[in-house]
Amino acid sequence: MEANLPKRKETRKSMRIKVISMGNAEAGKSCIIKRYCEKRFVPKYLATIGIDYGVTKVQVRDREIKVNIFDMAGHPFFYEVRNEFYKDTQGVILVYDVGQKESFEALDTWLAEMKQELGPHGNIENIVFVVCANKIDCTKHRCVDESEGRLWAESRGFLYFETSAQTGEGINEMFQTFYSAIIDLCDNGGKRPAMGMSIGFTKEQADTIRRIRGSKDSWDMLGVKPGATRDEVNKAYRKLAVLLHPDKCVAPGSEDAFKAVVNARTALLKNIK
Using the rule CB under 6 A, which residue among 68, 147, 166, 177 binds ligand GTP? 166
Nearer CB in complex with ligand GTP: 23/252: 23
Contact 201, 250 (CB under 8 A): yes
Residue 172 CB, nearest distance to ligand GTP (Å)?
Answer: 14
Interacting residues with ligand GTP between 234 and 273 (CB under 6 A) = none
Among residues 17, 20, 36, 48, the one that binds ligand GTP under rule CB under 6 A: 48
Per residue, the 3-state secondary structure of the chain, as one string, reads CHHHHHHHHHHHHCEEEEEEEECCCCCCHHHHHHHHHHCCCCCCCCCCCCEEEEEEEEEECCEEEEEEEEEECCCHHHHHHHHHHCCCCCEEEEEEECCCHHHHHCHHHHHHHHHHHHCCCCCHHHCEEEEEEECCCCHHHCCCCHHHHHHHHHCCCCEEEECCCCCCCCHHHHHHHHHHHHHHHHHCCCCCCCCCCCCCCCHHHHHHHHHHHCCCCHHHHHCCCCCCCHHHHHHHHHHHHHHHCCCCCCCCCHHHHHHHHHHHHHHHHHHCC
Q: CB-wise, 131 or 181, nearer to Mg ion?
A: 131
Shortest Å distance, C-beta 171 to ligand GTP: 9
Instruction: Indicate the residue among 75 and 211 with the shorter CB distance to ligand GTP.
Output: 75
Span near ligand GTP by CB under 6 A; candidates 10-18, 19-27, 139-147, 203-211: 19-27
Q: Note whether 214 binds ligand GTP by CB under 6 A.
A: no
Strands 15-22 and 63-72, bridge-based pairing: parallel
Partner whose binding site includes residue 225, from ligand GTP, Mg ion, none (CB under 5 to 8 Å by kind)? none
Q: How, if at all, do strands 128-134 and 63-72 pair?
A: unpaired
Residue 135 binding ligand GTP, by CB under 6 A: yes
- What part of residues 21-60 is at the interface with Mg ion (CB under 5 A)? 29-30, 48
Site for ligand GTP in 60-119 (CB under 6 A): 73-75
Q: Which is nearer to Mg ion, 47 or 55 (CB)?
A: 47
Strands 91-97 and 15-22 come out as: parallel
Angstrom distance (rounded) from CA 128 to CA 150:
16
Residues of 199-215 as b/e, b for ≥16 C-beta within 10 angstroms? bebeeebbebbbebbeb
> Which entry of Mg ion, ligand GTP, none binds 45, CB below 5 to 8 A by partner kind?
ligand GTP
Shortest distance in whole angstroms from residue 112 CB to ligand GTP = 17
- Minimum CB distance to ligand GTP, residue 11 (Å): 34
Q: Which is nearer to ligand GTP, 74 or 252 (CB)?
A: 74
Q: Minimum distance from CB of 200 to Mg ion (Å)?
A: 34
Number of residues that bind Mg ion (CB under 5 A): 3
Name the site residues for ligand GTP (rule: CB under 6 A). 23, 25-31, 42-48, 73-75, 134-135, 137-138, 164-166
Name the site residues for Mg ion (rule: CB under 5 A). 29-30, 48
